[in-house]
A and B are shown apart, each in its own frame.
Chain A
Amino acid sequence: MNSVLSAIVYVVSLAVAVYALVEALVDRPPGRIQVVGLGLVEAAVLALSVGVLVDVIGGGRPAETATFIGYLLTTLLLPPAGVALARMEPTRWGSTTVCGAALIVPVLVVRLGQVWHG
């Protein structure tokens, strides 16, 4: 797995998580910045997926294919789910949800790396 693209996902998602946490703490609903932030996280995860695809075309294979695909799909699904829930909950708890989604993405990417290398 591409370590530069993984690092970009970590940085972007953790930045969004911190920002959303601060907004939740000061009792603010998720605004445009959080939504755009999750969009950037999704873009970074998509870039990582393309990197994985290039690796696979080059002959690389994850150690556990089914698990890897499951984690990758979950990671791709999380930012849109975060945006949808943030829209439904225009309170500090919407910001809390965005923070949670943005925290889980890097955890999943760590797991993706472990599953890839076996």
Chain B
Amino acid sequence: MADRLNTGPGRVLIFVYGLFALAAGARAGVQIATRFGAAPLAYLLSAFAAVVYLVATYGLVRGGRAGRRIALVCCTVELLGVLAVGTLSLADRAAFPDDSVWSGYGRGYGWVPLVLPVLGLAWLYRTRRTRP
């Protein structure tokens, strides 16, 4: 059976991942270029998140064994990242004077950053190959 990672619901995931790579990347770029000193940690985290989204998009588009592995690592990093940063941003507001993509569990982005890796992992599991 052909790998259906990048068709059907996978295509919707690729669309949203690509959009988030663009949104997070552009935002981080503007923030780092114009006022990096104000909140370096938050801005670097946004840039890191953007890179992870970009690589996840690539993994999902590519498919196959390597694509799956890339997507699996990225979705896991995202889920851990949004949970860790979300918790830290609520516990220690001083460290996050300006929001990053993952602050407050991604509430600035309609909680999509929290939902997206879960959907990604679920989709990877649904389309897994079962060996004979």
Q: A and B from one assembly?
A: yes
Chain A residues within 8 Å of B, Cβ to Cβ: 64, 66-67, 70, 74, 78, 81-82, 85, 88-89, 91, 93-94, 96-97, 100-101, 104, 107
* A67 x B27 contact (CB < 8 A): yes
Q: Is B12 an interface residue (CB 8 A)?
A: yes
Contacts of B23 in A (CB 8 A): 74
Partner of B12, one of A74, A100, A107: A100
CB neighbours of B11 from chain A (8 A): 85, 88-89, 93-94, 97
The complex places the Cα of A101 from the Cα of B15 at a distance, in Å, of 9
Residues of B within 8 A of A (CB): 7-9, 11-12, 15-16, 19, 22-23, 26-27, 30, 33-34, 110
**Which residue of chain B has its CB nearest to the CB of A101?**
B15
A89 to B33, CA, bound (A): 38
Contacts of B27 in A (CB 8 A): 67, 70
Provide a sorted-by-A list of 6 A–B residue pairs whose CB atoms are within 8 angstroms.
A74-B22, A74-B23, A89-B7, A93-B8, A96-B12, A97-B12
**Chain A, interface SS category:** helix
Bound form: Cα–Cα A91–B10 in Å: 12
User: A85 and B15: CB pair below 8 A?
Assistant: yes
What is the minimal beta-carbon distance from A42 to any residue of chain B, in angstroms?
Answer: 16
| Residue in A closest to B112 when the chains form the complex, CB atoms | A104
Using Cβ atoms and an 8 Å threshold, which residues of chain A touch B30? 64, 66-67, 70
B34: chain A residues within 8 A (beta carbon) = 66
Q: Are B8 and A107 in contact (CB under 8 A)?
A: no
Please pick, from A81, A82, A85, A107, the residue contacting B110 in the complex, using a CB distance under 8 A: A107
In the bound complex, do residue A89 and residue B19 qualify as a contact, i.e. CB atoms below 8 Å apart?
A: no
Residues on A with C-beta less than 8 A from B12 are: 93, 96-97, 100
- A98 to B: closest C-beta gap in Å: 10
Scoring A91, A93, A94, A100 by chain B CB atoms within 10 A of each residue's CB, the highest score goes to A93
- Chain A nearest Cβ from B9, distance in angstroms: 5
- B8–A74 contact, CB under 8 A? no
Minimum CB–CB distance from A20 to chain B (whole Å) comes to 12
Q: How far is the CA of A88 from the CA of B8 in the complex (A)?
A: 10
Whether A97 lies near B15 (C-beta < 8 A) is yes
Inter-chain contacts of B110 with A (CB < 8 A):
107
Are B8 and A91 in contact (CB-based, < 8 A)? Answer: yes
* Bound Cα distance from A56 to B88, whole angstroms: 40
